[in-house]
Structure 1
C-alpha cells in the first residue's frame, strides 16, 4: 500500500459497500440464466490509450465475490496501454465473473482515466521542481479509488479529508475575521486538543501573503487564482520560509507557466472531477 488511507480494511470496506449497492439480494440475471456449476473465462480488453489503474483493486474485488476466481495479470497498475491490449484473464465460476464484472469495470475505467490525465500533467511539469496535487473534489464514497489513481499516475495526494490537515480557505478566513485571527485560533485549538496537524492558509493577493508571513506558525501558503506574475512575486516574498501551492483554474495551457513561478505544488481539482472514463471491457472467452 502506498498511502495511509490504502489499508486492507479500508479497501475491503469500500468493496463491501459497493457490492451491496450493486448486487443487493442477488445477481438474478446470472443466477437465473447460468448453471451454478458453469466454469468460464473472460479477458479485460483495453479500448483506449493511456495509463492503466485499478489492477490491484480488481483482484480484491474478484476475490471478495469468489475466493476461487483465478486472475492472470499481463499488465500492472501504471502500465502504458493502447487499444487492443489485454490486461488480465479471469477464470472460474461464470456466475461469479458476471457478478464482479460491473464493479471491476466501473473502478478501473474511472481510475485509469484519472491516472492518464494525472500522468499527462506530471509530464508537463518535467524539468521543474513543482509537484502535482489532487484535491477533495472527488466523488462521494469513491475518494479512496480516485486518490489512489492519482498516485498511480505519478501525482501526489493532498489531504485525504477534513481531519488530516488544516486548510484555512477564504470562507474560514472571512468568518474568523482575517488571517491572523484564523491562524491564532487554529493554533490554540490544536494545542488544546493535542493534535499535530499542518496548517495551510489560502491567500488571494499579495497583501494576504504578507499577513500570512507576519502571523507565521503555518506550514504552507496557497496562492489562489493569482496571475503567474503575481505568483512569482509571492514566491519571492515567501522566500522559502513556507511551502507554496498554486491553485484555482489551472489548465494544461497554463500549468507550465505556473510551475515556472517557482511554486512547490500545483493542485488541480480537474484530476478527479472532470475526467472521461477510459473504455475497458470484460469479454467472455469460449472454453
Structure 2
C-alpha cells in the first residue's frame, strides 16, 4: 500500500499502463491531478491546449495515428461539454480515447447548488457518448477503475470510455494498492469454420477486392500482406483512410473501387459495414461477400 492522493493514484496507474502523453486544459477542479503529473514529467508529456475541443480531437488523432489510447483531461461541466463533438466523432470512427474529466465535490453532486461548472448528471452525458464510463469515488478505487477503462478500450469494438473524478477525491489521500495488472482483453471467440470457408473462397478467387474501414485501423500490416498475396486492390471507406498507405500500388481511393467491385468475384470487408457497396453499388448472384 502507498499513501497518496487520488490524483497521484490515477497518474501512477496511467504510467503503469503505458500512457506517455496527455492532452489537457487544466482548471480548478483538476488541479490536484496536474500537481501529481508535475511529479512525473519524465514519464508523461502534457500537451496544453487552448480549448477543450482541441484536447479531445488531439487525443482522437493520437489514437488513430499511433494505435494507442489517446487520453485527455478537462474540467467538468462546460469544459467537458466542449469535448462532446470530438467524443462523438471518436465513437463513430471507433477510436480508443479516454475522457478523464473533473467533477464538483462529491457531496454536492446532483444537488443543484449552482457550483462552478456544475451540470445535472454529468456522468449520464459521458455514458451517452462512450461505451463505458464510471466515477472514481475514492483514491483506493482509482487503479482498478483506470485498469478497467483500458480493458474496455482494448475489448470488443474500439470506442471511447470515460472517467469522472470529483475534485475532493483528487485531493484526498488514502492507502492505495498500486498493483496494476495487465488489462483484460475480452474478445469474441474465433469461428474457425467461417475462417476456413473464407480462406477457401479467397483461394479460388480470380478477381478479389478488399474494402477496409475504421475498424481495421490497427491491422494495416496484415491487410497489406493479404492484399499482396491475393494481388487484390485495397479500397478504403471514409474511416478507413490511412489503414494502408495511399502510396501502396494496390491502394485505391474509395470512389475508384466502383469499377473493381463490378468485376469482383469475392469481396472482403475488414472493419467496415460496406454500406455503400452493399446498398448502392448493386449485387449479383456470382459475387461472394466476406465481412470481418
TM-score by structure 2 length? 0.29
TM-score by structure 1 length? 0.29
Compare relative contact order (CA 8 Å, sep 6+) and give the higher one, 1 or 2.
Answer: 1
